């Protein structure tokens, strides 16, 4: 079976969590590969088009949800885009003290950041 492709949405202030996630992910094997938004300095409309194309090409989306998420227009837009594109979406809490699910996620679940929860999500894709 071919590996799944997962888009990783996160607030730009949460790059540390993104780095931790991708480092751990790389050690977990080749069950799936992770893509995130390109921070290449393109104009906002162009950036959104590139991100939407990446999300469309993915099997699902994982959103890292923390205290910076509610104020991150980019993260909230990526989450809305995933919902608009009908992609399976999983929110992962990155901070125990910040567990406020963004309304943009709709009925998608937010769960603790465990490899069991991530693996279950990947298995459902």
pLDDT in tens, 18-60: 888 888 877 656 666 777 776 655 666 788 888 999 999 999 9
CB 79 within 8 A of CB 63: yes
Which of residues 34 and 117 earns the better pLDDT score?
117
Residue range 64-73, pLDDT digits in tens: 999 999 999 9
Instruction: State how far the Cα of 31 lies from the Cα of 39, in Å rounded to an integer.
Output: 25
Instruction: State how far the Cα of 111 lies from the Cα of 41, in Å rounded to an integer.
Output: 32
Instruction: State how far the Cα of 109 lies from the Cα of 75, in Å rounded to an integer.
Output: 16
CB 35 within 8 A of CB 5: yes
Q: What are phi and psi of 96, to 5 degrees?
A: -65, -30
Q: List the structure tokens of 97.
A: 């003290």
pLDDT higher than 60, residue 13: yes
Instruction: State how far the Cα of 93 lies from the Cα of 96, in Å rounded to an integer.
Output: 7
């Amino acid at each position: 079976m071919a590996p799944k492709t997962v888009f990783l949405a996160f607030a730009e202030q949460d790059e540390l969590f993104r780095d931790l996630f991708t480092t751990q992910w790389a050690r977990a094997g080749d069950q799936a590969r992770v893509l995130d938004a390109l921070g290449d300095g393109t104009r906002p409309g162009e950036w959104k088009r590139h991100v939407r194309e990446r999300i469309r090409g993915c099997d699902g989306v994982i959103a890292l949800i923390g205290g910076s998420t509610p104020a991150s227009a980019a993260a909230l837009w990526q989450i809305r885009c995933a919902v608009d594109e009908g992609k399976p979406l999983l929110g992962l809490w990155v901070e125990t003290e910040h567990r406020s699910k963004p309304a943009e996620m709709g009925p998608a679940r937010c769960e603790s950041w465990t490899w069991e929860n991530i693996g279950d999500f990947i298995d459902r894709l």
